[in-house]
């Protein structure tokens, strides 16, 4: 019997955000007791080198589940090949008013408008430093809501300065739909300026710390092919190391008429699977074959993970699938991808 199948009806009876916090606390306790293998199974060892880093397997945790990096060791015990935490901003911020997370179980989906709620980069770094796990750790950075979009670069550089020393790689989130105007940074001149500034600062930090930390850009599924191609060109020009495709969608076609479908925010889960795959395919068509693509969006089964890789992903990440299918999904996907070549 899948232990998560017993817990899920209880969790789904709670407010989604309350269930989220309760689950993280439960994972922490289970990790301290050494009990997580009962729900997650044995970790899959399928080492792969990407971005110059050695990943235990190809299945990672997407950013957003652990915004403050406070649960790294417990989450790593679920068998992930890598962990990404954040999004973190320079200053603490509460995010958007509650309620701000909604389940759409008929489509195995979520809508969230969290708004980068986090305790700020100083608390984030303190949590990361306390973690004992020494696997691949991605630190995801963003901008504060009160920072004008014209000054967004300042926030990203401030975060990069603080997290650089502690990151295996740094993910740059410009694609959340829940921070006003943030997605404007995906366009032409704004993205050119941001990536140029990040690359320049990265060079300075690499000299300071004696280590070049890879940078990955996280983009939206709501881009047309021309926009994807323009982003791909800038990724290469600025020597960005990977792209994460994709964040949540603002489209509602797949959930029209369902309860909560009209709530503002980003839609994740099964409905974003194909839009994400479309962006991945276009990135793979446009970018050099060896350029790393981290595929995320709507993975709810081992077959879904295989489809992401078939579309062109090098690695994959999970989030909403964990909520609907439980932590055993990590091992199922990792086993399905063991020994598989990407793209």
Per-residue confidence at 246, pLDDT binned at 50, 70, 90? very high
Give pLDDT, residue 62.
Answer: 98
> Token pair of 196, please?
């140029």
CB 246 within 8 A of CB 298: no
Q: pLDDT tens, 284-339?
A: 999 999 999 999 999 999 999 999 999 999 999 999 999 999 999 999 999 999 97
pLDDT, the chain, mean: 95
Give pLDDT, residue 36.
Answer: 77
Rounded CA separation 104/102 (Å): 7
Which segment of 36-40, 47-51, 188-192, 293-297 scores lowest on mean pLDDT?
Answer: 36-40
Which residue among 176, 200, 268, 341 is the active-site one? 176
CATH architecture of structural domain 3-337: Alpha-Beta Barrel (3.20)
> Token pair of 45, please?
């060892």
**Angstrom distances, CA of residue 147 to CA of 264, 270, 342:** 21, 33, 39
Q: pLDDT above 70 covers what percent of the chain?
A: 98
CB 58 within 8 A of CB 46: yes
- Burial (CB count within 10 angstroms: exposed 0-12, middle 13-18, buried 19+), residue 341: exposed
108: left (phi over 0), alpha (psi -120 to 50) or beta: left
Rounded CA separation 343/329 (Å): 22
Return the H-helix or E-strand segment holding 271: none
**Angstrom distances, CA of residue 170 to CA of 4, 74, 162, 316:** 32, 21, 11, 16
CB 285 within 8 A of CB 311: no
Residue 341 is a catalytic residue:
no
CB 102 within 8 A of CB 79: no
């Amino acid at each position: 019997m899948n232990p998560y199948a017993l817990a899920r009806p209880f969790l789904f009876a709670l407010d989604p955000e309350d269930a989220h916090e309760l689950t993280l606390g439960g994972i922490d306790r289970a990790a301290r007791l050494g009990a997580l293998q009962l729900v997650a199974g044995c970790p899959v060892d399928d080492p792969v080198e990407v971005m110059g880093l050695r990943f235990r397997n190809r299945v990672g945790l997407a950013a957003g589940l652990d915004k403050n990096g406070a649960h790294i060791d417990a989450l790593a015990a679920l068998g992930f090949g890598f962990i990404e935490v954040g999004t973190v901003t320079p200053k603490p911020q509460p995010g958007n008013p509650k309620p701000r997370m909604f389940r759409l179980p008929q489509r195995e989906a979520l809508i969230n408008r969290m708004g980068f709620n986090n305790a700020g980069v100083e608390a984030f770094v303190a949590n990361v430093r306390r973690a004992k796990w020494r696997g691949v750790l991605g630190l995801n950075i963003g901008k504060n809501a009160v920072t004008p979009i014209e000054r967004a670069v300042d926030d990203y550089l401030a975060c990069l300065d603080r997290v650089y020393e502690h990151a295996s790689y740094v993910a740059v989130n410009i694609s959340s739909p829940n921070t006003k105007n943030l997605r404007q940074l995906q366009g032409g001149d704004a993205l050119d300026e941001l990536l140029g500034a990040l690359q320049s600062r990265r060079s300075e930090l690499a000299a300071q710390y004696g280590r070049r930390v890879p940078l990955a850009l996280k983009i939206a599924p709501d881009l047309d092919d021309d926009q994807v191609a323009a982003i791909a060109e800038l990724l290469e020009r600025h020597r960005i190391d990977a792209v994460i495709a994709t964040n949540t969608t603002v489209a509602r076609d797949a959930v029209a008429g369902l309860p909560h479908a009209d709530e503002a925010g980003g839609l994740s889960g099964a409905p974003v699977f194909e839009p994400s795959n479309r962006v991945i395919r276009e990135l793979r068509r446009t970018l050099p074959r060896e350029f790393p693509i981290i595929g995320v969006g709507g993975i709810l089964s081992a077959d879904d993970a295989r489809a992401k890789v078939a579309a062109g992903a090098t690695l994959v990440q999970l989030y909403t699938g964990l909520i609907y299918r439980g932590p055993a999904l990590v091992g199922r996907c990792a086993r399905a991808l063991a020994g598989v070549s990407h793209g």
